[in-house]
Structures are given as structure tokens and as C-alpha cells.
Amino acid sequence: MTAWQRGKLIFEDTSLREAAAEFNRYGRNEITIDGPVLGKLRVGGVFRIGDPSSFAQAMAKAYHLRIVNNGNTIVLTDKQTDSR
């Protein structure tokens, strides 16, 4: 039985953009990557297909990214510090 049949996505040295696209094939919520540099970050691990939020949180923690939720879209972007 393949991983997707068990509800899992497995990534091994996959770009963040490719991993997000794979999640987008299966879920209602879409993951978008803000910027070409972030899209090239490398991803590895096993993730639940139906839980793009956990994937986004793991990527945000691993790469110090920010998550912006826009309705059914999860945007991963660079963390920006507030200069005020």
C-alpha cells in the first residue's frame, strides 16, 4: 500500500514549493509559498495528508517562517520583525 493510501505524504529532499503543491492536490486548504527563495527550501519527513496546518507549522518552526491564514489559504512567508 502506498503512503497516500494510508493518508501520509512522504518527502525526502523535496522543495517546499513541491511539497506544498502535493498537499494542495489532496486538501481543501491551499498552502502557498510567498517568494521564490522560500520555495527552494528543502523538506523531509512524513506528514498527514489531511493536516496542512501541521505541515505549515512544522515548516514555520524549522525555517523560522511566518504563517498567514487567509480563509482557506495558508501562506508561508518570511518572518518580519516590527521596527516600531
**What pLDDT, on the 0 to 100 scale, is given for residue 83?**
42
Q: Contact, 31 vs 17, CB < 8 A?
A: no
The residue among 4 and 8 whose pLDDT is bigger is 8
Hey, what's the cell of 70? 487567509
**What pLDDT, on the 0 to 100 scale, is given for residue 64?**
94
| Kind plus residue range of the DSSP H or E element containing 18 | helix 16-26
> What's 39's DSSP letter?
H
What are 76's strand-pairing partners? 33, 67
Break the chain into its structural domains and give their ranges: 3-78
At position 81, the amino acid (one-letter code) is T
3-78: CATH class:
alpha beta
Distance CA 54, CA 60 (A): 10
**Model confidence over 36-70: pLDDT tens digits?**
899 999 999 999 998 999 999 999 999 999 999 99
**What pLDDT, on the 0 to 100 scale, is given for residue 80?**
65
Strand 65-70 and strand 42-48: the pairing is unpaired
**83 alpha-carbon distance from chain centroid:** 27
